[in-house]
């Protein structure tokens, strides 16, 4: 094989973890691990949801050879030069996995490479892009007929998360032991014959969501555990979030919003002999493990139910077939600044940001919420498969909903079945790798 470069363009944390990861793995399966023949590079573009750690995450993937961070993107787009002055082989393919679809057009022309775009909902620049791998046939159907030969339906890359669930073997006792047993057995004791019920808490990764999500989720955990002591709780910590920052949102002295939910606080416990066994212990004695391995698909697959904020989490849980309740508390409109695109940028401007955040959230609550489809599984199905709760949420009402679902496992089974029906077939990453292979031959 002639030496080739594969350049992957991506941007935000969701794309890097749920799109780039499976695709680079599939590419190595397709082309082998000889870096002298096939080299994989990742270039990141700016994203309003970025944490600044996306480059480090991408570089941690063993399939990737080199990564350029988002702050150097514009120089590369305009002049074709990376900050480290990378060399480029004469043949290659640009693979678009997040950002603006005009980027592969410009960069592909500069490098003389073929271009492949993964398109979830809309495909653009049909005449300039060589191939499209689309999530659904409807995306291809909207393109002019003369470009039909460029389209291949590959499926949903989010579903690739489901392949990781094969790591699950049996009950939690066969996996990494939950540390709640080690720290305080009294908080997790339950009657003989009662099976442990694991509940995942996903309050988000950005301050705008964590300020409300952490105290709300922990308060719900306290309520549920009081009713069903066989429950255990875990927070899969986002790779962009450190434990101390997460714990600060559980401290009423540092997060005044916690008082709105009647939450008494939680302390971070990090055993000196094993820092991977960190947890939060609430004022009422309920322990919540902080799971730091990433991705946490094998853990999430074992959850009876998850409580999550709106966002990419809902897509991942949907792909895994895990029942969820989607929470969007609105007690603090100004705190809800985690919007995508221009609204998110404006809402975070000094001075202008606060009134704008309040206005846009008020408009959202008044008009957009009527559709009732905010979670990705519900958007895909165009019906409410998983409950979406928006408004001035309080822990007891949500806790009672969780208790009701746990007491009626047939309801959870029905949600799982519906999620499986809409998530589609796996294999999107491999199909994209096959498209890349075909374009290399050209």
For the chain, the structural domain boundaries read 4-155+427-440, 166-423
Q: Are 43 and 71 in contact (CB under 8 A)?
A: no
**What pLDDT, on a 0 to 100 scale, did the predictor assign at position 310?**
85
| Alpha helices by DSSP H, 268-334 | 297-300, 312-320
Instruction: Tell me how far apart the terminal alpha carbons of the chain are, to the nearest angstrom.
Output: 13
Fold equal for 4-155+427-440 and 166-423? yes
Q: Which residues contact 206 (CB under 8 A, 6 or more apart)?
A: 49, 51, 338
- pLDDT, residue 416, reads 93
Superfamily, domain 4-155+427-440: Glycogen Phosphorylase B; (3.40.50.2000)
Number of CB atoms found within 10 A of residue 78's CB? 10
Low-confidence ranges of the chain (pLDDT < 70): 1, 160-194, 331-372, 423-425
Fold of 166-423: Rossmann fold (3.40.50)
Which pLDDT value is given to residue 184? Answer: 40
* pLDDT score of 116: 98
Residue 92: helix, strand or coil by DSSP? strand
Q: C-alpha angle 115/105/31, rounded to 5°?
A: 20
pLDDT of residue 348: 53
Tell whether pTM > 0.85: no
Give me 56's structure tokens.
Answer: 């480090």
Q: What is the pLDDT of residue 173?
A: 35
C-alpha 259/C-alpha 385 separation (Å) is 32
Structure-block tokens of residue 152: 């291949």
Report the candidate in 276, 330, 305 with the shortest Cα–Cα distance to residue 202.
Answer: 305
Contacts of 172 (CB under 8 A, 6+ apart): 178, 196, 198, 232, 302
Looking at residue 186, its pLDDT comes to 34
CB–CB of 304/199 below 8 Å?
Answer: yes
Kindly report, residue by residue over 178-199, the tens digit of the pLDDT. 444 443 433 333 444 568 899 9
User: What's the pLDDT score for residue 135?
Assistant: 87
- pLDDT value, residue 169: 29
pLDDT for res 386:
95
Alpha carbons 228 and 182: distance in angstroms, whole number: 19
Residue 127: what pLDDT?
93
């Amino acid at each position: 094989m002639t030496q080739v470069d594969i350049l992957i363009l991506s941007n935000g944390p969701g794309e890097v973890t749920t799109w780039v990861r499976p695709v680079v793995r599939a590419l190595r399966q397709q082309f082998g691990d000889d870096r002298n023949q096939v080299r994989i590079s990742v270039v990141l573009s700016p994203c309003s949801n970025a944490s600044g750690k996306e480059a480090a995450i991408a570089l941690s993937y063993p399939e990737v050879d080199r990564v350029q961070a988002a702050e150097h993107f514009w120089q590369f787009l305009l002049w074709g030069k990376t900050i480290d002055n990378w060399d480029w082989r004469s043949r290659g393919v640009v693979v678009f996995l997040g950002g603006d679809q005009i980027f592969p057009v410009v960069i592909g022309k500069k490098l003389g490479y073929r271009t492949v775009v993964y398109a979830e909902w809309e495909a653009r620049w049909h005449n300039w892009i060589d191939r499209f791998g689309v999530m659904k046939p409807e995306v291809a159907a909207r393109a002019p007929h003369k470009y039909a030969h460029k389209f291949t339906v590959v499926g949903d890359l989010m579903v690739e998360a489901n392949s990781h669930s094969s790591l699950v073997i049996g009950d939690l006792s066969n996996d990494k032991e939950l540390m709640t047993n080690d720290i305080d057995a009294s908080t997790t004791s339950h009657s003989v014959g009662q099976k442990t019920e694991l509940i995942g808490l996903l309050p988000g990764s950005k301050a705008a969501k964590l300020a409300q999500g952490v105290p709300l989720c922990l308060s719900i955990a306290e309520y549920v555990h009081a009713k069903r002591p066989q429950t255990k709780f875990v927070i899969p910590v986002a790779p962009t979030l450190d434990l101390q920052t997460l714990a600060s949102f559980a401290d009423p002295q540092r997060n005044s919003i916690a008082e709105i939910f009647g939450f008494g606080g939680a302390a971070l416990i990090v055993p000196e002999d094993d820092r991977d066994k960190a947890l939060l212990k609430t004022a009422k004695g309920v322990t919540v493990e902080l799971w730091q391995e990433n991705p946490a698909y094998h853990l999430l697959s074992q959850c009876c139910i998850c409580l999550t904020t709106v966002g990419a989490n809902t897509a991942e849980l949907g792909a895994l077939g895990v029942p969820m309740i989607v929470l969007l508390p609105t007690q603090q409109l100004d705190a809800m600044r985690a919007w995508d695109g221009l609204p998110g940028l404006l809402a975070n401007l000094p001075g202008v940001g606060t009134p704008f955040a309040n206005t846009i959230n008020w408009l959202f609550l008044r008009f957009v919420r009527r559709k009732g489809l905010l979670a990705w599984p519900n958007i895909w199905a165009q019906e409410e498969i998983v409950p979406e709760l928006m408004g001035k949420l309080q822990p007891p009402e949500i806790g009672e909903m969780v208790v009701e679902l746990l007491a009626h496992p047939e309801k959870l089974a029905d949600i799982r079945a519906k999620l499986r029906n809409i998530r589609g077939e796996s294999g999107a990453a491999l199909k994209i790798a096959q498209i890349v292979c075909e374009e290399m031959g050209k």
